[in-house]
Copies of this chain bind each other. A is one copy, B any other.
């Protein structure tokens, strides 16, 4: 996945590379969707580890480090990261519980940092603000990787999105 990207990824190629036949892949994972979910879950694990490692030796401005680590991983593993969002289950199928847990675990890190960065009287906003800032950072990262920012002339997406985060943490008008 990290080598060819989502569009050129194939279950048959996986089977070939690990020395098994295509049938075995299907016995183990059940379907193409579930194979990709397993791979994406691994990506989420690596992403979380990356963010936690960066936060571990962050001495000041942990929020900045958090945002940087988010971007860094996506740029470093852009095929794997993009696959997280390129893959879509059928509209009537929900992601398995284990996969949802991976997402909750990763977003939980952001929540803890944001809660810690908020003044005590605004801690109640932490959950809503976290969801919003995750989306904000995601949008900037996505536009960085898919070329939209290049097209529009944005050269410092990291600084830009950090300004958005600081605004929201500093003084928020949200009602969440």
In the bound complex, do residue A131 and residue B103 qualify as a contact, i.e. CB atoms below 8 Å apart? no
In the bound complex, do residue A88 and residue B154 qualify as a contact, i.e. CB atoms below 8 Å apart? no
Residues of B within 8 A of A46 (CB): none
In chain A, positions 87-135 with a C-beta closer than 8 Å to chain B are: 88, 94-95, 100, 103-104, 107, 127-128, 130-132, 134-135
Complex: how many Å from CA A167 to CA B55? 27
Q: Say whether A153 faces chain B, with CB atoms less than 8 Å apart.
A: yes
Q: Say whether A86 faces chain B, with CB atoms less than 8 Å apart.
A: yes
Q: Say whether A82 faces chain B, with CB atoms less than 8 Å apart.
A: yes
In the bound complex, do residue A163 and residue B153 qualify as a contact, i.e. CB atoms below 8 Å apart? no
In chain A, positions 148-176 with a C-beta closer than 8 Å to chain B are: 148-149, 151-154, 156-157, 159-161, 163-164, 166-168, 170-176
Q: Which of B107, B138, B167, B171 contacts A139 (CB 8 A)?
A: B138
Residue of B nearest to A89 (CB): B147
Complex: how many Å from CA A148 to CA B89? 13
Q: Which of B131, B143, B147 contacts A135 (CB 8 A)?
A: B143
Residue of B nearest to A144 (CB): B135
Residues of B within 8 A of A146 (CB): 85, 88
Q: Say whether A45 faces chain B, with CB atoms less than 8 Å apart.
A: no
Residues of B within 8 A of A172 (CB): 163, 167
Complex: how many Å from CA A170 to CA B164? 12
| A163-B132 contact given A127-B153, A173-B170, CB 8 Å threshold | yes
